[in-house]
Amino acid sequence: MTERIAQYIAEVQAFQTTDKSELEAFRIKFSGKKGILNEFFAAFKEVPNHQKKEFGQVINSLKVVVEEKIKMIQDFLESREDSNPIYGDLSRPGEPIKIGSRHPISLVKNQITDIFASIGFNVSEGPEIEDDWHNFTALNLPEYHPARDMQDTFFIQTDPDVLLRTHTSSVQVRYMEENKPPIRTISPGRVFRNEAVSSRSHCIFHQVEGLYIDKDVSFADLKQTLLYFTKEMFGKSKIRLRPSYFPFTEPSAEVDIYWGLKTETDYRITKGTGWLEIMGCGMVDPNVLTNCGINAEEYTGFAFGMGIERIAMLLYQISDIRMFYENDVRFLEQFKSSI
C-alpha cells in the first residue's frame, strides 16, 4: 500500500494543467467523496495497530501534496485572469477621470482680459518684487510723499528699495518705459499690502489695471471704455464717476456701478444705496508720462485699476475673501462646470 501511495505522490507532483475543468477532474479523483484519499482513509481502519503510525504519515503526505497542487494551480489561473482584464468584461464602464476646475480668481481675470482684448488691449506682466522707482517714485509718489501711506508696503529685509508691489501700476511704468504710444495694455497680477486680514481684506490680492495712451485721449474716452466694460462684465449700463484722488492721475475718480435694489442681497452689498464702488481711474498725470520717457505735450492717456477678488465676491456671492486662499476643495469644486 505504501508503494501505491508513493506512486500517487509522484503522479500528483507531475500533474500540470491550464484548464479549469481538468483541474476539477483532478480534484475529484483525489479529494472527492469517492476519491483516492478517502479510499485510503477507509483502508486505514484495517491496518494493524503497529503499522498505523507509519501508514498514517504516508497518507497524510499524499493529502498535503494534493492540496498544495490544487491551490497552486488555482492561484495561477486566477492571477492570469487578473492580469488580463482587457479580455474580461469588455462592456465594463471606463474608469472615471477626475476633472479639475479653474480658480474663481482666474475665471474672473480671464473674463476681464477677454473683454479688454476685444477692444484692442494687450496683456502685460511684471515682477512681484519691485523697486521703489516702479512702484512709487515714477508714479508721482516721491519719497516722503504722504500718499505712500495709502498703500501699506511690505519691504524686503531692511532695504527700502526692494519691496512687494502694492499695485500693478508698476507694470504700466515698465510698459511705458519700453514701448512707444499708442499704448493699450492691461496688467493683471498679484499685489501685496501690509493690512490686517479679515473677511473683507487680505494682505495678498489681485488687480487688473489698464492704461491707454495716445494723442487726444480724453476723459470721455475713459468713461466710454468703462461703460463698455461694465456692460459686458455685469450686464449693467449705469455708472457714475465720483471725484477722488490718486497721485498718478489728474483728475481722478472712483467708479460706481448701479447694481439696483431688487433683492435683499442688493441692499446688503450696496449698503442700501444701490451703488457699488468697483474701481479707481483717472487721466494719467503728465509727470508720470515724463518720468516714463513719454512726451506729455504730445500725448495724453487714462488709467484704471480694480481688485479681482472684489469682483469675484460680487459675482459669485462669496462673503469671505479668505476662501480664495484656503484651497478647500469643497469651495473650489463649485466652479467645476465653468470653462
| Paired strand residues for 187 | 209
**Among the listed residues 208, 281, 292, 311, the single contact to ligand PHE using CB under 6 A:** 281
- Smaller CB distance to ligand PHE: residue 69 or 167? 167
Q: Assess whether the previous peptide bond of 96 is cis (omega < 30° from 0).
A: no
Widest CA span of the chain, in angstroms?
Answer: 127
Pick the stretch among 104-112, 231-239, 298-306, 310-318 that binds ligand PHE (CB under 6 A): 298-306
- Smaller CB distance to ligand PHE: residue 169 or 270? 169
Contacting ligand PHE within 129-188 (CB under 6 A): 167, 169
Cβ neighbours of residue 220 closer than 8 Å, sequence gap 6 or more = none
- Smaller CB distance to ligand PHE: residue 181 or 301? 301
Does 303 bind ligand PHE (CB under 6 A)? Our answer is yes
Does 249 bind ligand PHE (CB under 6 A)? Our answer is yes
**Among the listed residues 40, 121, 175, 246, the single contact to ligand PHE using CB under 6 A:** 246
Spacing of C-alpha 197 from chain mean position: 22
- Smaller CB distance to ligand PHE: residue 121 or 246? 246
Exposure class string for 62-92: b at 16+ Cβ within 10 A, else e: bbebbeebbeebeeeeeeeeeeeeeeeeeee
- CA-CA-CA-CA torsion for 41, 45, 49, 52, nearest 10 degrees? 0
State which amino acid sits at residue 41. Answer: F
Does 282 bind ligand PHE (CB under 6 A)? Our answer is yes
Give min distance, CB of 261 to ligand PHE, in A: 27
> Which residues are at the interface with ligand PHE (CB under 6 A)?
167, 169, 209, 246, 249, 280-282, 303-305
